[in-house]
Amino acid sequence: GDFAQEVDTLVIGAGPGGYVAAIRAAQLGQKVTLVEKGNVGGVCLNVGCIPSKALIQAGHRAHLAKSSADMGIETSDVKINFEKVQTWKDSIVQKLTGGVSALLKGNKVEVIQGEAYFSGEDSVKIMDEKNSSTYKFKHCIIATGSTPIEIPTFKYKGRVIDSTGALALKEIPKKMIVIGGGYIGIELTGVYANLGTEVVVLEGSKQILPGFEKQMAKLVEKKLKKNGVSFHTEAMAKGVEQTDEGVKVTVDVKGETKEIEADYVLVTVGRKPNTEEIGLEGIGVEMDERGLVKVDKQCRTSVKNIFAIGDIVAGPALAHKASYEAKVAAEAISGEPSEVDYLAIPAVCFSEPEIATVGYTEKEAKEAGYDVKAAKFPFAANGRALSLNDAEGFMKLVTRKSDGLIVGAQIVGPSASDMIAELGLAIEAGMTAEDVALTIHAHPSLGEITMEAAEVAMGTPIHTM
Ligand code: FAD
């Protein structure tokens, strides 16, 4: 039958946006139903952040095993059992998604397996393999995430793979072409280069990692080149021929046509929001020309009881941004005055070395009308970095000239992803370079780089001139 079930807050999609929204809404006393058509955890836990970081670590270990002779660690025959690597990676995903399911249960969130489609401003149809049922809601949070963009001449099939395919390969390719040098492409390039694959990166613009500062991207490029990766920038991939054994890609590099053969071609040219097939037009939820849902500072759409978060709204498509918006939306539904403020959202590329940024770059700060200076401190002047045998990189701290207010920071170097947290806090709390410089950091630690960059900003560094 089709009697509508009634729920308070309905959340669509159980990625880092949706599951966090569901938990926060439940914590605030809302009765929550969460609909997911695939797996709890969404892209991030199943085919994104987590499995990619697991494979990055496996690649890193393999590479270290082969390349620590300068420290006196000599190995002869390093073998990679890739099947076991994949099983280990899958076990990490299972642990995390199992943990999320337990949290949802513990918070009394009802989880429904099925695909949601809006049938009205306060109702959805949920379809599973057999049935379709109608749910009426008071509030809804849409968190349907995103999907890899497909280049029409590179249909995902067989040896033409997307990031999900690249995370699930059963063999280590001898040679792989990567189309798109954004952070996802570069992270996966690092994985396979470390595992011994010859990787060729084709990037359309002049620089890989166009979202990050050129000097930082250059350092990553240099390290990857040392590891056998080759790069073609201003390269437009035209088409692909596929056989059982491999692919032949035609590419236009600065006006010259080339053909490159490989075992696989991985296409990572961006992601598109999953807003096409959920009935949003029919109920008047406004979107922009890219299909991103328009929202206000509380993540409320043009339909006032419907909220949207994560990869389907504007801003960086990152898991922590989705989770941040999730809390704001759930709190807004409970009548709290929460609002988003994106300044202190970090972005990280888990390359080697890692790149991390938060707040403004020097250029962005100037464009935003701030009178700033940038203070730089190298990893090579830090004892901990040297003793890690990993001392390439630097930190840049962007401060307001008048009072030293920290408005941004960029790091390229080992553990940049963890180090950026302190600077996110500094920005969030309105701290100055002096606040950070006066904070005692343990010796020897990479954290001292942050303290010393703050001292550079103040003109009184100890370990650099
Ligand atoms: P998603 O995680 O995409 O979840 C959406 C969920 O909604 C999916 O489970 C989907 O099945 C479900 N769904 C869709 N439509 C319906 C429907 N109609 N009914 C029911 N359910 C539906 N971000 C980082 O911050 N750090 C990283 O290191 C990082 N690494 C990444 C690596 C890779 C390879 C990829 C692909 C992405 C990575 N990301 C990373 C990005 C991150 O995964 C996304 O930003 C994040 O998952 C977005 O969360 P979300 O909740 O908006 O959507």
98 marked as part of a ligand binding site: no
Which one-letter amino acid corresponds to residue 348?
V
Atom 8 in ligand 1: residue holding the nearest Cα: 42
Distance 234 CA to ligand 1 centre (A): 29
pLDDT in the model for residue 392: 97
d(CA 268, CA 228): 20
pLDDT in the model for residue 465: 83
**Atom of ligand 1 at shortest distance to CA of 16?**
51
Distance 80 CA to ligand 1 centre (A): 30
Atom 7 in ligand 1: residue holding the nearest Cα: 13
Round the average pLDDT of the chain to a whole number and report it. 97
Residue 143 near ligand 1, beta carbon < 6 Å: yes
Decide if 19 contacts 40 (C-beta within 8 A).
yes
Residue 310 near ligand 1, beta carbon < 6 Å: yes
**Atom of ligand 1 at shortest distance to CA of 18?**
51
Pocket test for ligand 1, best of 19, 35, 45, 49 (most atoms within 8 A of CB): 49
Handedness of CA 358, 362, 366, 370 (dihedral sign): positive
DSSP 270-328: -EEES-SSS-TGGGT--B-TTSPBP--TT-B-SSTTEEE-GGGSSS---HHHHHHHHHH
* Residue from 450, 430, 428 nearest 439 by CA: 450
Decide if 287 contacts 268 (C-beta within 8 A).
no
Residue 115 near ligand 1, beta carbon < 6 Å: yes
d(CA 41, CA 104): 11
What pTM did the predictor assign?
Answer: 0.97
Decide if 40 contacts 97 (C-beta within 8 A).
yes
Residue 17 near ligand 1, beta carbon < 6 Å: yes
182 marked as part of a ligand binding site: yes
Low-confidence ranges of the chain (pLDDT < 70): 1-2
Atom 12 in ligand 1: residue holding the nearest Cα: 13
Strands laid side by side in the 406-412 sheet: 347-349, 355-359, 406-412, 394-400, 372-378
* Residue from 142, 145, 179 nearest 10 by CA: 142
d(CA 33, CA 298): 20
Distance 454 CA to ligand 1 centre (A): 36
Residue 48 near ligand 1, beta carbon < 6 Å: yes
User: How would you class 129 by CB atoms within 10 Å of its CB: exposed for 0-12, middle for 13-18, buried for 19 or more?
Assistant: exposed
23 marked as part of a ligand binding site: no
Pocket test for ligand 1, best of 45, 144, 312 (most atoms within 8 A of CB): 144
Structure tokens at 307: 């909220």
Distance 456 CA to ligand 1 centre (A): 39
**Atom of ligand 1 at shortest distance to CA of 312?**
52
d(CA 339, CA 309): 13
pLDDT in the model for residue 379: 98
Distance 311 CA to ligand 1 centre (A): 7
Burial 261-279 (b: 16+ CB within 10 A, else e): ebbbbbbbbebbbbbeebb
36 marked as part of a ligand binding site: no
For residue 443, indicate whether it is catalytic.
yes
d(CA 338, CA 171): 47
pLDDT in the model for residue 2: 63
Is 415 in a helix, a strand, or coil? coil
ipTM score: 0.99
Residue 184 near ligand 1, beta carbon < 6 Å: yes
